[in-house]
Each structure stands twice: as C-alpha cells, then as structure tokens.
Chains A and B, each alone.
Chain A
Amino acid sequence: ETGVTQTPRHLVMGMTNKKSLKCEQHLGHNAMYWYKQSAKKPLELMFVYNFKEQTENNSVPSRFSPECPNSSHLFLHLHTLQPEDSALYLCASSQVGAGAPSGDTQYFGPGTRLTVL
C-alpha cells in the first residue's frame, strides 16, 4: 500500500450505532488530519495530530472522538451521530516542523462516505 488509505470507503449507520473510521499513511509523515466535506461547503478541518499529540480540535462535537496510536495510524470513533453528520470524511497527512521540505503539502486519502440514518 502506498500513500494514504482509508477504510471503510462507505459506511451507513443508525443514530445509535458506534463505528470507527480508520486511516493509515505510508509516507513517513509526522502529522495527520481529519476533515469533513459536506455538500457545497469547503473542507472543514476537524482534528490535527502532530507527533501523535492532538494540536487542533476545531470545536468538533464530542460524538466524534479521534485516536492516534502512532504517527502512521489515525482513527475517528463515531457514536450517537445525527443525520446532519452525513458527509465525506477525509484523512490527510503531511510532514511538518523543522526538516519538512519547504512548499510541502498535505496528502489525502480517498475518504469515507458516511450516511447516518
């Protein structure tokens, strides 16, 4: 596997279910991100992990719970979601800090299309 992978690619869940989204990066990066993309809205940054430590939480409801066990893996645990949480959830990674190539960018996975019934 190369790049950034996400599983599952599609997920349908009820409002009382608990599920998890998984992201894995094979690029040796030290930062990972969760984004939400809703229809006709910009990508919204949800969480940032830098060296496995959460450095950003953009006022995300507690029904979304991230976990970063190591610099290659990122999870998003979901529970008691609402229908308005239906969206494409994208994971990304990048190299940040001293030593990062200048002009570098974030690399995205293919996303998980989530539908909450």
Chain B
Amino acid sequence: DQQVKQNSPSLSVQEGRISILNCDYTNSMFDYFLWYKKYPAEGPTFLISISSIKDKNEDGRFTVFLNKSAKHLSLHIVPSQPGDSAVYFCAASANFGNEKLTFGTGTRLTIIP
C-alpha cells in the first residue's frame, strides 16, 4: 500500500506558465514533506520542504502548499523554465526527521519552449 502517491505520471506545461505538481499521502503520522528533482543519469536533488506546522513555504520560483486535512501537498513552479524539465518526487517522513523518507513514484515534468 503506497503511503505517498503522485497520481500524475507526467505533465507538460508551456514555458512561462505555472506548473503544479500534486502529491497525496495516507499516513497521518507524516509531519515533514519534501520535494526532490531528478535529471536523467543523476541522483535526486533536494528542492524544497515543508513541516506540518506550516501550510506554505516559498523559495524563489518554487512554493509548496500543504493541506493537512486533505492530506495533500502541491508544488508550484512559476514561471516555468525549460531547465525545470525533470522528474519530481514527493517524499514524507514522521517526527520532523529526514532519516526515514517515504517516496512517491514521481511526476515527469516537461516544459515546452
């Protein structure tokens, strides 16, 4: 049973528009959420995180929103750039820790020039 779900395997967005990637989780013990970005032939790299005491965290073009009641988080990228084309993984952990991360299956984002 997948505890972290990314239901969209792929997403295409025009350059300059907003990209919205979604993630749902089922484990109510999760209190720390992360987004990773992965290019081909490279390992995942950390992008942004949010703890359950917040509902929004912003870092430049990237904003993560957390809706605890819906057990849903989303990553907004605006404006989208060609270099944002990658696979994005959502991950979650309990106890605000980074030791045991549970990952989703990823969403492949393609930015169309």
**8 Å CB interface, A91-117 against B:** 92, 94, 96, 100, 102-111
Do B100 and A108 have beta carbons less than 8 Å apart? no
Do B51 and A103 have beta carbons less than 8 Å apart? yes
User: In the complex the two chains form, what is the Cα distance from A104 to B2 in whole Å?
Assistant: 24
Interface size for B (C-beta < 8 A) is: 26
Q: How many A-B residue pairs have CB under 8 A?
A: 58
Main secondary structure of the interface of B (DSSP, over half): loop
User: In the complex the two chains form, what is the Cα distance from A103 to B101 in whole Å?
Assistant: 13
B79 at the interface (CB under 8 A from A): no
Contacting A102 at CB < 8 Å: which of B46, B96, B103, B106?
B96
User: In the complex the two chains form, what is the Cα distance from A108 to B9 in whole Å?
Assistant: 22
Interface size class on chain A is 20 to 34
Residue of A nearest to B89 (CB): A43
User: In the complex the two chains form, what is the Cα distance from A31 to B106 in whole Å?
Assistant: 24
Main secondary structure of the interface of A (DSSP, over half): loop
Do B44 and A94 have beta carbons less than 8 Å apart? no
Inter-chain pairs besides A90-B43, A111-B43, 19 sampled, C-beta below 8 Å: A4-B43, A42-B102, A42-B103, A43-B89, A45-B102, A48-B100, A92-B43, A94-B98, A94-B99, A96-B97, A96-B99, A102-B96, A103-B32, A105-B34, A106-B46, A106-B101, A108-B36, A108-B44, A111-B42
